[in-house]
């Protein structure tokens, strides 16, 4: 039976479109999504690219067909990491970018992300507005004489030239795990060209991501950790499927959280100014920024929030606890490259490491180490639950932050309860110096959550 558009409205999420290929995301619908984009966002220029998934070329051609049928001009960059596309998008004064990807999800998934000129992802109201146009089928269609042109450009070559002109990393020894994804096309070449000595893993494209999957996690980096120790490398980084996120390990092959990575970058490059971090980021950033006299700005979880605040406050660095790290770079003509580009971030880390001239573990002493715990609780009616929780906790406690969910600060710990942006769950995070405080904070959070859920049942 043919799919009806009303049945797949859920694939339009706050910041992107994602679904399983040929189950929810079919090529015919990508043509219509292209038409919907032109009808809702505007008949303009669209910079397009795609990741290395098996279904990406088919979906890519369908999307381009829809964009051109609506009258939009398409600048086709082909297959490349998302950071390369965002490099090009950051140089645009008007128009949009569209990238076919499902980031770190399994290979049967795929999707589309739209961006404004400058590199900021479109807002939820725009993605949902695009969804409504798609479901209604009310499209602006170009006449035969106004079909949009398609121009193919080699953005990848320009992006690599930008990277290799931005760094000198002579002698640094780096382990790269490309994960069979899009950074295969860029990371080994870029590091070699600027003088680094590299050892690469999974450095061939495989649309099934058969080596370790498209999502790098602390628990699947054994091969990279062993390589670092065996070859006595300085550090290692594992990229996700489209290259917007990297996970780091130190010279001992031990996992480094994004906040530790950020401290190395800030210290090594002597970056001074404002630092942006999501509300769930570790307190080690608070400690470091306090000692260095830096202003730490907290924002809701999501790279759009980080990117917007980095640009607004002219911050020197932005970090998400999930692994996205933004280090602004200059593109000329007053333009700033502040995008989710794990290769750029990892080369900035390498630059910082080479300038420090000492073991990076010394930068994160024991006093900076905290223990944390995270739990996901399934809940369809997460909006109403969060309202009940907020009312209950605000009546009991004063030291509460509500920029994204509810964050309660206690004497030796904090707890954060927030609704997921991507799935029907409520996420609970806690952090403290001592393990017993972590357990106590989690017990408190879950007790409050269960109380709110019970009141609705």
DSSP 3-state helix, strand, coil percentages of the chain (rounded to 5)? 40, 25, 35
* 39, 90, 103, 346: the active-site residue: 103
Backbone angles phi, psi at 39, to 5 degrees: -70, -35
CA distance 309 to 261: 20
Which of 285, 241, 249, 238 lies closest to 266, judged by CA? 285
Tokens of 447: 């007790």
Rounded to 5 degrees, what angle do the CA atoms 42, 46, 49 make? 145
Residues 6+ apart with CB under 8 A from 13: 127, 421, 422
Residues 6+ apart with CB under 8 A from 300: 278, 279, 403, 404
CA 269 to chain centre: 23
CA distance 435 to 433: 7
How are beta strands 150-152 and 73-79 bridged, if at all? parallel
Query: Residue for token digits 């695009």?
Result: 130
Residues 6+ apart with CB under 8 A from 423: none
Asked if residues 102 and 110 have their Cβ atoms less than 8 Å apart, the reply is yes
Strand positions, DSSP E, 314-356? 317-319, 325-326, 329-332, 335-337
Q: Please say if 429 is a catalytic residue.
A: no
Tokens of 26: 């079919």
Query: Residue for token digits 């007053």?
Result: 334
| Residues known to be catalytic | 103
């Amino acid at each position: 039976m043919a799919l009806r558009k009303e049945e797949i409205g859920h694939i339009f999420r706050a910041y992107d479109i994602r679904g399983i290929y040929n189950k929810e995301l079919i090529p015919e619908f990508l043509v219509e999504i292209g038409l919907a984009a032109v009808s809702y966002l505007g008949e303009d220029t669209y910079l397009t690219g795609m990741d290395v998934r098996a279904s990406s070329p088919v979906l890519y051609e369908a999307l381009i067909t829809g964009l051109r049928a609506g009258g939009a001009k398409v600048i086709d960059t082909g297959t490349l990491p998302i950071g390369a596309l965002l490099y090009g998008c950051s140089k645009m004064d008007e128009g949009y970018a569209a990238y076919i990807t499902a980031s770190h999800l399994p290979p049967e998934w795929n999707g589309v992300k739209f961006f404004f000129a400058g590199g900021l992802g479109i807002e939820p109201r725009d993605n949902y507005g695009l969804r409504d146009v798609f479901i209604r089928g009310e499209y602006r269609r170009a006449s035969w004489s106004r079909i949009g042109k398609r121009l193919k450009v080699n953005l990848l070559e320009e992006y690599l030239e930008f990277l290799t002109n931005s760094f000198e990393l002579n002698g640094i020894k780096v382990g790269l795990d490309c994960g069979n994804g899009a950074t295969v096309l860029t990371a080994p070449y870029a590091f070699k060209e600027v003088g680094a000595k590299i050892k690469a893993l999974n450095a061939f494209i495989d649309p099934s991501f058969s080596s370790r999957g498209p999502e790098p996690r602390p628990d699947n980096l054994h091969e990279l950790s062993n390589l670092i120790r065996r070859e006595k490398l300085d550090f290692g980084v594992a990229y996700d499927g489209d290259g917007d996120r990297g996970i780091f390990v130190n010279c001992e092959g031990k996992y480094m959280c994004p906040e530790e990575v950020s401290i190395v970058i800030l210290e090594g490059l002597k970056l001074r100014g404002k630092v942006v971090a999501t509300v769930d980021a570790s307190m080690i950033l608070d400690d470091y920024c306090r000692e260095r006299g830096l202003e730490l700005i907290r924002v809701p979880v999501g790279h759009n929030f980080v990117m917007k605040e980095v640009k607004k406050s002219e911050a020197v660095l932005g970090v998400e606890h999930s692994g996205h790290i933004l280090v602004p770079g200059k593109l000329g003509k007053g333009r700033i490259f502040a995008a989710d580009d794990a290769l750029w971030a990892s080369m900035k880390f390498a630059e910082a490491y080479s300038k420090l001239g000492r073991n990076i573990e010394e930068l994160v002493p024991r006093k900076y180490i905290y223990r944390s715990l995270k739990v996901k609780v399934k809940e369809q009616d997460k909006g109403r639950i969060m309202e009940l929780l907020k009312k209950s906790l605000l009546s009991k406690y004063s030291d509460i932050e509500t920029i994204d969910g509810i964050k309660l600060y206690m004497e030796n710990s904090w707890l954060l309860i927030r609704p997921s942006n991507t799935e029907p769950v409520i996420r609970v995070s806690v952090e403290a110096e001592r393990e017993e405080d972590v357990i106590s904070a989690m017990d408190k959070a879950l007790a409050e959550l269960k109380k709110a859920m019970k009141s609705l049942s």
